[in-house]
Structure 1
Amino acid sequence: MENNRFRQTCLQNIISDHQSGSAEIACMALKALADYSQRCEEAQPSTYLKELNAFAVALQQTRPSMAILTNIIDAWLEEVNRSKHPQSDVMTLKQVALGKAEELMAQSSQANERIAQHVCDLIADNSVVLTHSISSTIIDCFTKLAKREISAIITESRPGNEGLQLAEKLSKSGIETQYITDAQLGLFMEKADVVLLGADSILADGSLVNKAGSYLTALAAHDLGIPIYVCAEKFKQSRESRETIHLEEMDSAELNLADLPHITARNIYFDVTPPRLINGWIDEEGVQTLMGTPST
């Protein structure tokens, strides 16, 4: 019963977290798997693995718009379910499960650090960097860019207002920042030198799935000739297409609309930006001008 409550709490925490970026969500899921792998009391290897697999799949299903959650848990499951492991005792399996979770969390963190360095190599001193929503990858980029005397323009990113968190982090980093409503993006875009966006998923054709408003951000940047780069580790690359990706819709109560006849509130949290609007994708290997093709 206690383990069931633990699983349900972990699942609900991820479902209800509208403030963290997808890499942070994936880290939460790996921590949950690591913790559960140690607390699970199944004595037989086969039943122990069955419990771990069921919890892992349930975690993957919590946030279908986030490719990293599927991919990083798949990598964990592949190691845990290797053919030699079912012949091992439960103690050995626990060591494997914990060790792989820790390895993947470190791998994701290191990928973000490398992406941030590639961004620093790309962006000139004193640039004005515009971003929408919040991303742990983008935060790492700003942390490194703070030494380059850049300034920032950030959106509030309604309805979750993740921009408030980002504003606090940029303030602590000493980055001069203009904080704007989403509706002012078209007005402020001409003041930017470059746009950086995080990602929840990168689709097979290079399309970006990210917080709603990213598509409008890219349209404004493209219209004004402002380069836009998507910063995302390879774990965020998805096999899904624009036709098959599930864009999560959250509780419409976040929009604070009164109950009015004939009015339906919609709160779809993500949108899809086509690759034609993106100048480059920055992953841990460098800047890609076409998906899978490093720039020269």
Structure 2
Amino acid sequence: MSIDDILRELREDRVHGASWYFLKGIEVIRIAIERGLEPSDIKALLNELRGVRPGMASIMNLADIIERSLNIGLDLNNVINRLRDWYDSASKRLLTQLDRFPIMCGSKAITISYSSAVKAALSRWGKCIDVLYVMESRPGNEVIQAISDYSNYVGNVVPIPDSAIAHFMRNVNYVISGADGLYSDGYFLNKVGTEPLFIVAHRFDVNTIVIAESYKAVSGCVGEVYMVDFHIDNQGVQVPLFDEVPLELIDYLITDLNIIKKPKPENIENLRELLINNVLNPSG
């Protein structure tokens, strides 16, 4: 695929999350390097990537690391290889952390949207979860992919209307969510509908779990949130694709590096620094 083809795919996608965008972004930069693009052209390309999903942490980190590498004259091939290695090793480390978490057998859980991190969690916890409720997660149709993939690990996966979460919350033990970004300003970013899900969970004293790899940790804030058109009966309105959910609503943050109870902004900063140091200064 060409760079333009991949950028178009990224803009039009309505299913995948931050991990997929991270890999696709790496692919875009690798093609740019292979084609011998000048540093100024690569920097312009980075701005295009940032604009694909404004505020998505994995894209922000990728673009920031590549721009820093250009500014200090690092070999971009080596940087891209280390980013890919970090992605691969993060996936393996995340499974180790998930195995450490004491999920209660015979439990019920609610999740929203589709997340590769949640899929990884279910691959380890699925035998202990009797019922998994999956919100319809509108706007978008990623719930179809979620039900298909999650059913490989949980015997009873049940789609529910977004408006019915309070009813089902009365009988669940966990809310499990991925994250498109962890921000040191004090919140995480995920599919719109996640904030009311977590608020209702706390209303009913249900444990909330967020699962996210370290390359989704960003210093600062999200800035602009990506907006989409939503239509009901020929009436249209623009809605944000993501919610900014306060960290204080998270009981457990599970990353590839650690399990953090009641995460705070400094925890996000630490995750971000570990990523930057390991990619830009691997021997440091």
Same fold (TM over 0.5): yes
Aligned: 1:112 with 2:79 = no
1-side partners of 2:22 and 2:47: how far apart? Answer: 13
Q: Secondary structure at the match of 1:250?
A: strand
CA RMSD of aligned residues (A): 2.4
Distance of 1:186 and 1:105 partners within structure 2: 40
Q: Which of 41, 49, 69 is the equivalent residue of 1:51?
A: 41
Q: Which residue number corresponds to residue 204 of structure 1?
A: 184
Task: Name the SS of the counterpart of 1:245 in structure 2.
Answer: coil
Q: Map 1:1-296 onto structure 2 (within 5 A).
A: 6-38=2-34, 40-41=35-36, 48-83=38-73, 85=74, 96-122=75-101, 123-148=103-128, 150-241=130-221, 245-252=223-230, 255-259=231-235, 265-288=237-260, 289-291=262-264, 292=266
1:27 counterpart letter in structure 2:
L
CA contact (8 A) 1:7 1:55 kept: no
Runs of 5+ consecutive residues of structure 2 not aligned to the other structure: 269-284
Whole-angstrom distance in 2 between the partners of 1:290 and 1:268:
25
Given that 1:113 and 1:140 are in contact with CA atoms closer than 8 Å, whether structure 2 keeps it comes out as: no
Q: Secondary structure at the match of 1:266?
A: strand
Q: Deviations over 1:56-87 (max 9, x none)?
A: 2321222112111111232234345533x5xx
Q: Contact 2:22–2:62 (CA<8 Å) still a contact in 1?
A: yes
Question: Does the 8 Å contact 1:200/1:236 carry over to 2?
Answer: yes
- CA pair 110-129 structure 1, distance change in 2 beyond 3 A: farther
How far residue 293 of structure 1 moved from its aligned partner, in angstroms, is 5.1
Offset, 1:278 = 1.6
**Structure 2 CA distance for aligned equivalents of residues 50 and 238 of structure 1:** 24
User: Offset at 1:22?
Assistant: 1.0
Distance 1:113 1:163 in 2: 25
- TM-score scaled by length of structure 2: 0.83
Cα distance between partner residues in 1 of 2:154 and 2:26: 32
The whole-number CA distance in structure 2 between the counterparts of 1:137 and 1:37 is 29
Contact 1:30 1:73 in 2 (8 A): no
Task: Report runs of 4+ in structure 1 exceeding 6 Å deviation.
Answer: none
Output the CA distance in 1 between the equivalents of 2:82 and 2:258. Answer: 22
2-structure distance, mates of 1:205, 1:268: 19
After superposition, the Cα gap between the structure-2 partners of 1:174 and 1:208, relative to the gap in structure 1 and judged at 3 Å, is closer
The SS at the match of 1:220 is helix
Report the alpha carbon displacement of residue 99 of structure 1 after superposing the two structures with TM. Answer: 4.1
- Shift, 1:26, TM fit: 1.3
The whole-number CA distance in structure 2 between the counterparts of 1:28 and 1:209 is: 19
CA contact (8 A) 1:130 1:154 kept: yes
Answer whether contact 1:79 1:100 (CA < 8 A) is retained.
yes
TM-score normalised by the chain length of structure 1: 0.80
Q: Compare the two structures and name the one with the higher strand fraction.
A: 2
Query: Percent sequence identity over matched residues?
Result: 22
Look up the equivalent residue of 1:194 and give its one-letter code: Y
Deviation (angstroms), 1:188: 0.8
Aligned residues: 265
Query: Following TM superposition, by how much is the alpha carbon of 1:222 offset from its aligned partner in structure 2, in angstroms?
Result: 0.3
